[in-house]
Structure 1
Amino acid sequence: MRKFTLSSENIFYIILGAMLLFLITRQAIVSPITHDEVNTIDLSQRSVWDIVTYTDPVPNNHILNTLLLKAGIAVFGDSPLTDRLFNILFFIPFFIFAVLISKLLFNELWIRLAFVLMISLQPYLLDFFGVTRGYGISVALEMVSLYYFFLRLKSSEFRPLVLSVIFAALAVYANFTLMNYFIPLVFLLAFHSVMLHGKTQKKLIQKDIFLLLAVSVALVMLCYLPFTRMIGTNQFVYWGSTGFFTDTVKPLIISLRSGTEYFGWSHEKVSGIVTDIVILVFLSGLILIRYQKEKKYFLYSGVLLLSVIVYNHLQFYVLDIPFLNARTALFFIPLVVLFMGFCLQAVWHKNMTLSLVMSMFLSILAVQHFIRGFNVKSPYEWGYDETTYDVLNEMNDIVNREQIPKPVKVNCHWIFYPSLSYHIKYQYADVFELVPYHKDIQAESDARFYYTEAQELEKLSAKFEPVKDYGWRSRFLLKSK
């Protein structure tokens, strides 16, 4: 690891990292607990044994995240900020190791900047450091693993090998879909060990392979029960079986868009343009890499990305596990951006001006997208829960103004139930009584308030009238007539 100096580049990284940490923390403070977080919080109340063995086999149980959440609640209590505390903190190693990777692998300033900006200014990815889910934690651990993977390639020391595989295993424990990264990484580390030590140092090869096998076996033992219970209860129902591009690549790009408008373009067009840009950068690097003397890191990065994609296909065709969806495929971002960085470096060795233009274009694209796409009030994935506080405050004002006897019965569309139930429990338990969870439209409900989506208005109109609308009239708070 290079000695830290307070250069202008490092000052820029410190300011950028501090700004992003502030925005993530602010989002975690002001945004209500979301639909999926409530299930995770409920799971954290179970015993450690129940959590690690997946006794309740729901996909919200990202085990490492759930265990950290359980510890956080035990120490700090249950509140939106403390529930999300460890996720916020994991942004710090995520960003630090993004910078360290750039300094380890790229000699040119503009390529380093492009890499860091493309990695860290993804609004959709940053959202997961502000919610109590395992996705952000897993990508942070992946970043640490990647740094030590390339440090191993560079130094040939044993310690980076140990750290790379251990952090990769922890990433899997934070989010099981990182198994798509872990297995190809282990094979590449084993291959590198054989190539490094050759036939003359068999004991060193055996030492490396033993470590890789030991960590892999330990991980399999930890994951066996959760995996079998997830498969046995069909927890992959939200994934796809059409194809890798249709089910994984396109949804990931659309989600990375974070609802940002680009010239009125459709999701199809945006995903096509982004794919074309990535392919163009890849092709430029693949064509011009022959002019670069050092090709090892370029090749290992490309093979790692390709191996992860191949493994994802094998998992589908051999194990019948569907293709990943957007949020479960977030770990592809570091792998793709990393290889893009190597491609920009390959172009640099042949045409510095072209590489500079490409790096600046990608950097500007990342900056403007972050400015326009990051919503400090709510994570994009759960935007429908952004107004939970507003709805509760509006109902409370009406109750106080009209002196309605308490507790006041509240009904809602099923998608709003988890967030409302959490905040009613901790803030309005003596004011509101939430109707039990249901998925049908209860037009004859005796509730005083009904919070629902726009498409249910007509069926509820006989007994309820709108009080206020939210989200560009996509959600309505109704009151009994």
Structure 2
Amino acid sequence: MEHLPITPPEGQRLAARTTILCCAVVLLCYSVVRAITVSFTWDESWSFLHYVIPRVYFQNAFDAMGANHHMLNVWGMIAASHLFGNSELSLRLPNLLAHAVFLYATARIALRSPYYIVSITAFLVLNLDPYLLDFFSLARGYGLAIGWMMLSLWMFTRYFTEGRQLKWLALAMLTAALSALSNLIMINYLLALATAFAALWGMDTLRGQGTSKRHLGVVAAGTALGLAATLPSAIALSQGGSLFFGCGSIWDCALNSLAEKLMYLVHYGWPARSILLVFFAFAVVCVTAVVFSAWRGRWMKELQVMLFGACVTGACIAFNMLQHVLFDTPFPKDRTALYLVPLILFVPVSGLVAWPRGSFTPGALGTVLALPLLLHMARSANLTHCVEWKPEGEVSKMLALISHDHLPLGKDRPVVSLSTSFESWGCLPYYQVRDNMQWLMATPREYPKPFATADYYIVESDGQDQVDPLNWELLYHSAATGTDLYRDKRMRALHRKAERIVLDMEAPDVIGRSNEQHVSGRFSVRFDAATRSTNRIYWVVPDTIPAGMVLIYGTGSTLQPEANNWIALVLRVARGQQELAMSNMGPTLEARYPGQWAKLAVSLVPMVDLLPGDTVQMSAWPMFDLNVMYLDDMVLSVIH
């Protein structure tokens, strides 16, 4: 029985191309808009501060945060920063380009089908994943890795279907190596490709149908190139304890975490893991139907791409399990397992698009696969947040409100204080540095402790029980993220009287006085291995001040050569020998402006009324003696 050729009629081909192009444009526009509207996340902010600003092209610190250096993403962010500035859209541009690559590759894969409906549904199956789309609008390595992965699968598709030309094999291995450079988890994908290709090449050779050894050599060379560029860093990160993110079990953690994020926290009445398993089970049904039909119709040779995809998927999972057994490497968790989803779906999709003309079955199977994804995408699409870092999705909007709402700054009120939930605090440094917000002093809440008293509060869902409805005014409610911005009415009333005490750097008795660097005057304090502290500032509460709320600020200017050391300002309130309150700040913005003078600030609102004779003390301490640092303009302000 001969099957009809796979080439579709020209009319259907044009209709499929037009429809897929329209879908691709919509999806790419969705990512571009999200790249503008969704706030920078904690991990993006970390990469910007520690890798992009200091131009760290190769990881040099293999600590707990070392794995945050996604090499190709960092290179792209640095290039975008240099060319287009430091806006969210600019820094996320590399992953937007990766989305365009992903859309191109999936469109070419889908358009192999002779059926209009199969081409459309195959494209939708590979693309309609809100969790996957999140990472194409973030400055992280996951989107880049998956984009290059899908392009490599398209190159392998061309290799197997267009006469096994060596150029497609070389391009496939090059793009796979770029995927590994984008995220180290993709080393498994690179190894899986080599393993699957070697297995199929060996089987073909045994049947006398194998290609020349040059093809195997190209795969070996591509794998060696990718490993040479990534494996040393992966080993160093593993030894440094950086690769701790993951799961200890497949069923209860790895699969659960991935399923919950794929469901985008949308509840359908079933456990997320059960829904995912049902969906994957139907994908297996599709593969089974393809194999059965190919066996009956004698077109099994058309399934080489599907077989290769299945081998790669199985090898990826096997390598993860092997690493866990041999090296105690955690199983992938949520975002580190995300690449497996389009890889798994590539298997049924490549089978359906290979189905020759003359049957309605592939269209029906593709529709059943795509329909739930389309409905889920409709419920999950948004322009406010990504599910992985949901609470901070609209923090940029809240910071803009604070910028326009805060009281005028001056000598008596030098900074604006912000007390924030922990997740939201992590993304703030990017905006503080980008917009030169040295006047904003942010303090994270230490759960389950209450929020430190401040001018403003960013409160996530887990902190709503700490809201003070009598004294806090709601400025903005983010219904999408569950995070709110409040203003403290009491702090706006504290402007009646201010005491200001300055440490005179010109005085000869100042410990560590130096004329090497200064902001004002001729001297500053020089901290080094010999000088580990300087004079403290004291203010004693006079008997002329009535009891009531007091706001204490400590400010200074600091200069440090590198970001690995900082100065901490400490405020203490004492009554005799008893300490009533204490606050310290470090590292803060001074650790993000290495090589230039930056503002340093700390605030304190004692929870008890101060009495005459109580003492307020301000001190400054260098964290380490690694290098020389300078402190100037040390001022204590008390507003009452």
Aligned residues of 2:31 and 2:96 also touching (Cα < 8 A): yes
Per-residue CA distance 1:9-40 (angstroms, 9 max, x = gap): 11112211111111110111111111111012
Tell me the equivalent position of 1:427: 435
2:387 to 377, 380, 400: 380
CA drift at 1:48: 5.9
Aligned ranges for residues 83-232 of structure 1 at < 5 Å?
83-104=91-112, 106-154=113-161, 155-195=163-203, 204-205=212-213, 207-232=214-239
Tell me the equivalent position of 1:270: 275
Give the counterpart letter for 1:338 in structure 2: F
Aligned residues of 1:406 and 1:430 also touching (Cα < 8 A): no
**Cα distance in structure 2, aligned partners of 1:47 and 1:448:** 32
Equivalent pairs counted in the alignment come to: 474
Aligned residues of 1:51 and 1:67 also touching (Cα < 8 A): no
Unaligned ranges ≥5, structure 1: none
Give the counterpart letter for 1:408 in structure 2: V
Tell me the equivalent position of 1:246: 252
**Cα distance in structure 2, aligned partners of 1:35 and 1:134:** 14
Shift of the 342–85 alpha-carbon distance from structure 1 to 2, 3 Å rule, reads: closer
Tell me the equivalent position of 2:286: 281
Shift of the 402–267 alpha-carbon distance from structure 1 to 2, 3 Å rule, reads: farther
SS in 1 for 2:21: helix
**Cα distance in structure 1, aligned partners of 2:323 and 2:293:** 33
1:29 to 36, 41, 44: 36
Shift of the 255–144 alpha-carbon distance from structure 1 to 2, 3 Å rule, reads: same
**Cα distance in structure 2, aligned partners of 1:146 and 1:15:** 23
Per-residue CA distance 1:406-452 (angstroms, 9 max, x = gap): 521112122111222322333361652223x6745664835222323
More RCO (CA 8 Å, sep 6+) = 1
**Cα distance in structure 1, aligned partners of 2:175 and 2:465:** 53
SS in 2 for 1:51: coil
Rg larger for: 2
1:477 to 468, 485, 494: 485
CA drift at 1:201: 10
Aligned residues of 1:197 and 1:204 also touching (Cα < 8 A): no
1:291 to 274, 288, 296: 296
CA drift at 1:61: 1.1
CA drift at 1:386: 1.7
SS in 1 for 2:419: strand
Alignment pair present for 1:313 and 2:321: yes
Aligned residues of 2:47 and 2:69 also touching (Cα < 8 A): yes
Aligned residues of 2:246 and 2:330 also touching (Cα < 8 A): yes
Alignment pair present for 1:303 and 2:311: yes
Aligned residues of 2:409 and 2:415 also touching (Cα < 8 A): no
Alignment pair present for 1:414 and 2:391: no
Unaligned ranges ≥5, structure 2: 1-6, 491-640
Q: Which structure has more helix as a fraction of its residues?
A: 1
Per-residue CA distance 1:220-252 (angstroms, 9 max, x = gap): 222233212221232333311112x43333332
Aligned residues of 1:298 and 1:342 also touching (Cα < 8 A): yes
Percent of pairs with identical residues: 19
SS in 2 for 1:258: coil
CA drift at 1:64: 0.6
Give the counterpart letter for 1:305 in structure 2: T
1:390 to 378, 390, 397: 397
SS in 2 for 1:451: strand
**Cα distance in structure 1, aligned partners of 2:40 and 2:393:** 9
Shift of the 223–307 alpha-carbon distance from structure 1 to 2, 3 Å rule, reads: same
Tell me the equivalent position of 2:518: none
CA drift at 1:113: 1.7
**Cα distance in structure 2, aligned partners of 1:221 and 1:368:** 43
Aligned residues of 1:241 and 1:322 also touching (Cα < 8 A): yes
Q: Structure 1 stretch 156-165 or stretch 182-191: which is displaced more?
A: 182-191
Aligned residues of 1:172 and 1:179 also touching (Cα < 8 A): yes
Superposition RMSD in Å: 3.4
**Cα distance in structure 2, aligned partners of 1:429 and 1:20:** 34
Alignment pair present for 1:63 and 2:71: yes
Give the counterpart letter for 2:257 in structure 1: P
**Cα distance in structure 2, aligned partners of 1:399 and 1:275:** 52
Aligned residues of 2:15 and 2:116 also touching (Cα < 8 A): no
**Cα distance in structure 2, aligned partners of 1:289 and 1:203:** 24
Q: Which structure has more strand as a fraction of its residues?
A: 2
**Cα distance in structure 2, aligned partners of 1:126 and 1:366:** 13
CA drift at 1:163: 0.9
Alignment pair present for 1:44 and 2:57: no
**Cα distance in structure 1, aligned partners of 2:311 and 2:228:** 28
**Cα distance in structure 1, aligned partners of 2:297 and 2:180:** 35
Aligned residues of 2:16 and 2:111 also touching (Cα < 8 A): no
CA drift at 1:140: 0.8
CA drift at 1:180: 1.9
**Cα distance in structure 1, aligned partners of 2:373 and 2:486:** 41
**Cα distance in structure 2, aligned partners of 1:159 and 1:319:** 36
**Cα distance in structure 1, aligned partners of 2:41 and 2:142:** 15
Tell me the equivalent position of 1:323: 331
Per-residue CA distance 1:354-386 (angstroms, 9 max, x = gap): 433222222332322222212122222222112
**Cα distance in structure 2, aligned partners of 1:330 and 1:383:** 17
TM-score, with normalisation over the residues of structure 2?
A: 0.67
Per-residue CA distance 1:31-68 (angstroms, 9 max, x = gap): 11111110121233366665255556522211111111
Shift of the 47–412 alpha-carbon distance from structure 1 to 2, 3 Å rule, reads: closer
**Cα distance in structure 1, aligned partners of 2:280 and 2:260:** 11
Shift of the 108–54 alpha-carbon distance from structure 1 to 2, 3 Å rule, reads: farther
**Cα distance in structure 2, aligned partners of 1:361 and 1:199:** 38
Aligned ranges for residues 328-339 of structure 1 at < 5 Å?
328-339=336-347
Alignment pair present for 1:78 and 2:86: yes
**Cα distance in structure 1, aligned partners of 2:265 and 2:231:** 37
CA drift at 1:401: 9.5
Tell me the equivalent position of 1:260: 266
Per-residue CA distance 1:140-178 (angstroms, 9 max, x = gap): 101111111122222221111111111111101101111
**Cα distance in structure 2, aligned partners of 1:19 and 1:316:** 40
**Cα distance in structure 2, aligned partners of 1:368 and 1:390:** 29
Aligned residues of 1:467 and 1:479 also touching (Cα < 8 A): yes
Q: Structure 1 stretch 308-317 or stretch 283-292: which is displaced more?
A: 283-292
Alignment pair present for 1:363 and 2:370: yes
**Cα distance in structure 2, aligned partners of 1:53 and 1:215:** 25
**Cα distance in structure 2, aligned partners of 1:238 and 1:216:** 25
Shift of the 396–456 alpha-carbon distance from structure 1 to 2, 3 Å rule, reads: same
